Structure 1
Amino acid sequence: MIVPVTGVFAAVLGILLLVLSAHVVKFRLKYNKGMGVTDNPDFEAAVRAHGNLVEYAPIGLIMLGIAELNGVASGFVYWAGMALVVGRLLHAWGMINGRGNTHKARVLGVVLTWLAILAAAIMLLWNVWSVYG
């Protein structure tokens, strides 16, 4: 069975990961720093924007994929996936442009990401409960 809805979101987040990775590499080359960061806030923000995506995107995508495979309505999976992707985009943009400080986009990105993961968790629990409960 295929998971086309989750597949699209995985592709978009994969592209975002490459963009954020290139941003980190730019700083690594500039400062000749193979590991860790300097005291440059832009470098630190780039590393954390990348790291934060790596921390949140996998669990969100796994949950969406399981929901889609379990037969949760694709509309629910789609909207949770949109919240996840938009949340990750906003967070990265806010982290980089806010140089690691509080930024409206960063805050909204975190909230959307958490809501997406919560929605996916509820969808999964509801699906399992309605089938086996």
Structure 2
Amino acid sequence: MPLPLTTVGLYASLLVVIYLILAARIIRLRWRYRVGIGEGDALPLKVAIRVHGNFAEYVPLALLLLGFMEIQMASTALLHVLGAALVIARISHAMGLTRSIGSSWMRMLGMILTFSVLLVSAGFLLGQYISFHWM
């Protein structure tokens, strides 16, 4: 009998869908601008590659931390808040950067939420470590 999907598994699955959408966007733009490798001179392709790269830089670490939190029996509510915040953050960042290569409120919201998820997760795990080893 399979185990039920974990809370972090749910958010990992949702984030994989976003990741694939971002990857498909790059493929579509490569076809449109006839760029086989690299970025070429097409600004929309450069932006799409950067959006995808930024996602790939932050999401795996955030999911790893959330997974460790789940192993440490963090509350399901906290995991849902952090997981939902991460999904909203990455969608917001992608939309903000796609609409404007300069600063935008959506891009800023995406980074603030992403950093918040990372900081809260790291803080939780550090607190768990300290309470177990030094108290």
Asked if Structure 1 and Structure 2 have the same fold, meaning a TM-score greater than 0.5 normalized by the shorter chain, the answer is yes
Aligned residue pair count: 132
Where do 5+ consecutive residues of structure 2 fail to align? none
Any conservation in 1 of the 2:93–2:108 contact (CA below 8 Å)? yes
Where do 5+ consecutive residues of structure 1 fail to align? none
Within a 5 Å distance, the mapping from 1:83-94 to structure 2 comes to 83-94=85-96
Instruction: Please say which of residues 30-39 and 47-56 is displaced more in the overlay.
Output: 30-39
What is aligned with 1:38? 40
Q: What is the aligned-residue identity percentage?
A: 31
Which residue identity is paired with 1:96? T
Distance 1:97 1:111 in 2: 18
Runs of 4+ in 1 over 4 A off after TM superposition: none
Asked if 1:104 corresponds to 2:105, the answer is yes
Asked if 1:119 corresponds to 2:120, the answer is yes
What is aligned with 1:61? 63
Which residue identity is paired with 1:74? T
* Distance 1:115-1:123 versus aligned 2 partners, 3 A rule: same
Which residue identity is paired with 1:35? I
Q: CA RMSD in A?
A: 1.5
Which residue identity is paired with 2:37? M
Any conservation in 2 of the 1:3–1:68 contact (CA below 8 Å)? no
Asked if 1:48 corresponds to 2:50, the answer is yes
Residue 82 of structure 1: how far off its partner (Å): 1.6
How does the TM-score come out when normalised to structure 1?
A: 0.92
Residue 52 of structure 1: how far off its partner (Å): 0.6
Any conservation in 2 of the 1:24–1:46 contact (CA below 8 Å)? yes
Any conservation in 2 of the 1:60–1:117 contact (CA below 8 Å)? yes
**Secondary structure of the residue that 1:38 maps to in structure 2?**
coil
Q: Which entry has the higher C-alpha Rg, 1 or 2?
A: 2
Any conservation in 2 of the 1:91–1:106 contact (CA below 8 Å)? yes
Any conservation in 1 of the 2:33–2:42 contact (CA below 8 Å)? no
How does the TM-score come out when normalised to structure 2?
A: 0.90
Residue 2 of structure 1: how far off its partner (Å): 6.8
